[in-house]
């Protein structure tokens, strides 16, 4: 199977590049500099040159405050980019794998969201990903849309200057009080766990919509507490509400992803322990 991976330098793309191995697998990677998904002709040319069986699009514009300030760029990268990739794949007879997010949900369900639950976003980024899902499914019938949540990986997020784990560790080193919301519950997920779970699904011909996120949910405050516990740190960590913390972006209060279509990933703490082990030994 020939696979073209777009966004190979990001957190998820890096782990797919690192962990996807096999005699029957040929992986061609392209980072954002090599493949601008907003350039339809460039994407077409890349797909034509590599002739993949599967095109995986991990690119995304996901800095939430900037998405609110600049929705045009957010929609151009996510929606137009997703459309370009799905169309190019379809025209060359390839499957497209597109990533989406728990933020397509508004957080009012109160229990894990599964694949067929109704979507309703509370912010620009989530709205752009709803549209991305729709155009990908419309343009390429041979699609696999994968919703994920709370990503963190060894490569860090270029769009956010790291990831939540590294941000917490940096704040602990600085020695100032750390305020983290305790009323937003999600499922923080190690991108390595997603990469490993995705490979057999792609090789097995999975199609449609699936959720790949850490088992069980937790608040960001609980997640931060676990980071410090595993690292052996005791900073001044305070639980605050979303209202107390403030900020320009509305987020769902509960966006844990469950699944009825894919194997469940390990609990979030197992993924965090793996990350800390691989990152720091």
**Angle in degrees, CA 261, 264, 267, rounded to 5:** 155
Supply 273's token pair: 């322990």
Cα–Cα dist 62/67, whole Å: 7
Element (H, E) at 98: strand 95-101
Cα–Cα dist 238/235, whole Å: 9
Nearest residue to 217 (alpha-carbon basis) of 121, 133, 126, 105:
105
Supply 13's token pair: 């793309």
Q: What distances in angstroms separate CA 20 from CA 15, 88, 94, 162, 166, one per listed residue?
A: 8, 23, 19, 23, 25
Half-sphere exposure (CA, 13 Å, Cβ side) for 170?
A: 7
Write out the catalytic residue numbers: 125
Residue 151 contacts by C-beta under 8 Å, 6 or more apart in sequence? 11, 12, 157, 163, 188, 189, 191, 194
Cα–Cα dist 27/3, whole Å: 5
Nearest residue to 178 (alpha-carbon basis) of 223, 142, 217, 144:
223
Q: Are the C-beta atoms of residues 186 and 256 closer than 8 Å to each other?
A: yes
- How do the residues of the chain divide into helix, strand and coil, expressed in percent and rounded to 5? 40, 20, 40
Cα–Cα dist 17/13, whole Å: 6
Determine how many CB atoms are found less than 10 A away from the CB of residue 122: 18
């Amino acid at each position: 199977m020939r696979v073209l991976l777009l966004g190979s330098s990001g957190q998820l793309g890096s782990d797919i590049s690192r962990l996807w191995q096999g005699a029957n697998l040929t992986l061609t990677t392209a980072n954002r500099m090599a493949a601008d998904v907003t350039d339809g002709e460039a994407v077409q040319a890349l797909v034509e040159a590599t002739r993949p069986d599967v095109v995986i699009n991990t690119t995304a514009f996901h800095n939430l405050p900037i998405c609110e300030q600049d929705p045009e760029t957010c929609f151009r990268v996510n929606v137009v980019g997703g459309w370009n990739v799905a169309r190019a794949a379809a025209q060359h007879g390839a499957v497209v794998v597109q990533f989406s997010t728990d933020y397509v949900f508004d957080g009012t369900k109160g229990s894990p969201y599964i694949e067929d639950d109704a979507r309703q976003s509370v912010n620009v980024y989530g709205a752009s990903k709803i549209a991305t899902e729709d155009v990908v499914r419309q343009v390429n019938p041979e699609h696999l849309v994968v919703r994920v949540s709370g990503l963190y990986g060894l490569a860090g997020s270029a769009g956010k200057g790291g990831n939540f784990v590294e941000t917490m560790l940096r704040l602990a080193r600085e020695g100032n009080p750390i305020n983290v919301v305790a009323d937003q519950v999600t499922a923080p997920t190690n991108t390595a766990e997603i990469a490993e779970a995705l490979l057999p699904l792609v090789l097995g011909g999975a199609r449609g919509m699936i959720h790949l996120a850490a088992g069980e949910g937790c608040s960001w405050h609980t997640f931060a507490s676990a980071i410090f516990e595993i690292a052996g740190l005791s900073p001044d960590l305070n639980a605050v509400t979303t209202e107390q913390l403030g900020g320009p972006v509305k987020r769902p209060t509960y966006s844990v992803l469950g699944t009825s279509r894919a194997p469940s990933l390990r609990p979030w703490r197992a993924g965090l322990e793996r990350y800390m082990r691989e990152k720091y030994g």
